[in-house]
Amino acid sequence: MLGVTGSIAVYKAADLTSRLVKAGYIVDVVMTEAAQEFVQPLTFQALTHRPVVTEMFNLHSEMAVEHIALAERADVLLIAPATANIIAKLRYGFADDMLSCTALATRAPIVIAPAMNNGMYENPVTQENIAVLKERGVTFVGPGEGYLACGTVGRGRLTEIMDIFDAVKIALGRKGDLMGKRIVVTAGGTEEPIDPVRCITNRSSGKMGYALAEAARDRGAEVHLIAGPGSLRTPYGVRFTAVRTANDMFAAVQAATRDCHAVLMAAAVSDYRVAEVAKQKIKKSASSLSLELAKNPDILASLTGDFIKIGFAAESQDLLANAQMKLQAKGLHMIVANDISRAGSGFGGDTNEATLLFPDGRREALPLMTKERLAHIILDRTTDLY
């Protein structure tokens, strides 16, 4: 259920609604009177294909009689944008319109994305209201900082739509099967410097690791994502460590796995680094140039502890034989093998075709699917391993 209140950021709630619907959520929208001054209910009705609830006492609306049913049916109540007014009403338990009434009646988790003038947000009364609601278990996402519609710059703008979307998924995942599990995920390629300008890297986009981190988070896990340089959006609600070299990743993973239940090493770690990094930019005067490479530590192989270790093998030939060898050499509970030479399974794409291999000899060949779907299957097998 999406509660929409009277802030200029209402137009962003339309975008959010569209994304939720596209992702398969059934969205019931409740608008306050003030929200309708900014945007017509028809906008949300067209996006959700469902009636929008606007009044409590409209005899022609079946929702009016059923407003408690509406509260009971919600899996999550998101209020975005949420004004200082609705936050104050929720804190004190007012129920004088459909949204406040629903918020009071529902047992579903509540997520609030505030949007207001920075003065209103920073006012001690608003801050106190937020603190009390947080203590009662309400989740707040944002607000962000920046240019505000009133012409000032400060804290109070509706946070990024994708972060709100993620906060909803986290709220829905509170009873997920990975609840209470601490999972470390690595993603992306590493970068080994040659000189202050150049580096050795690889074509890993990080998409598989990011998909795993988000899927685990959505199923209730506490996720620590350790990623090499890349352009992907840092997922909301996960602990994030950015690294550059294989050695940086090694140190970060060693520290993160001291207290975890599983590690999923999706990163494409550089096997070698430049033995001596040039302090100054190398000039192109010589007709050829040789670089001496030194071996990097194998992060996965070095990890010991009472947690599940899952590795990845990206190969261009002898896929299963190579993956089998790595499974044993690195002491893994499972390895995800994918043939990077096949269409749809290469670096950078949104899909992958993988085979899962287990130490007891079991193999599970999976069809081509999105990395998101594959992430969930990998997590299904991880939970089977517990």
- Residues at the contact surface with ligand C5P, assessed by CB under 6 A: 246, 265, 267, 269, 271, 296, 298-300, 311-313, 326
- Of the pair 256, 300, the CB lying nearest ligand C5P is at 300
Closest contact distance (angstroms) between CB of 326 and ligand C5P is: 5
Length of the chain counted residue by residue: 386
- Of the pair 140, 312, the CB lying nearest ligand C5P is at 312
* Residues labelled catalytic: 150
- Of the pair 141, 313, the CB lying nearest ligand C5P is at 313
Burial of 280: CB neighbours in 10 Å, binned 0-12, 13-18, 19+: exposed
Closest contact distance (angstroms) between CB of 191 and ligand C5P is: 14
Burial of 49: CB neighbours in 10 Å, binned 0-12, 13-18, 19+: exposed
When CB distances to ligand C5P are compared, the closest residue is 299
Closest contact distance (angstroms) between CB of 248 and ligand C5P is: 12
Return all residues near 178 (Cβ < 8 A) that are at least 6 apart.
216, 219, 220, 221, 379, 383
Amino acid at 378: I
- Of the pair 121, 312, the CB lying nearest ligand C5P is at 312
Return all residues near 143 (Cβ < 8 A) that are at least 6 apart.
113, 114, 115, 116, 121, 155, 156, 157, 158, 159
Alpha carbon distance 13, 52 (integer Å): 14
Signed CA dihedral, 111, 113, 116, 118: sign only: positive
- Of the pair 171, 249, the CB lying nearest ligand C5P is at 249
Burial of 123: CB neighbours in 10 Å, binned 0-12, 13-18, 19+: middle
- Of the pair 78, 246, the CB lying nearest ligand C5P is at 246
Report CA 94 to chain centroid distance, whole Å.
33
Closest contact distance (angstroms) between CB of 336 and ligand C5P is: 8
Return all residues near 324 (Cβ < 8 A) that are at least 6 apart.
335, 357
Alpha carbon distance 126, 187 (integer Å): 39
Closest contact distance (angstroms) between CB of 236 and ligand C5P is: 24
Closest contact distance (angstroms) between CB of 140 and ligand C5P is: 35
Determine the straight-line distance between the first and last CA of the chain, rounded to whole angstroms: 34
Q: Which two tokens stand for residue 222?
A: 């506490």
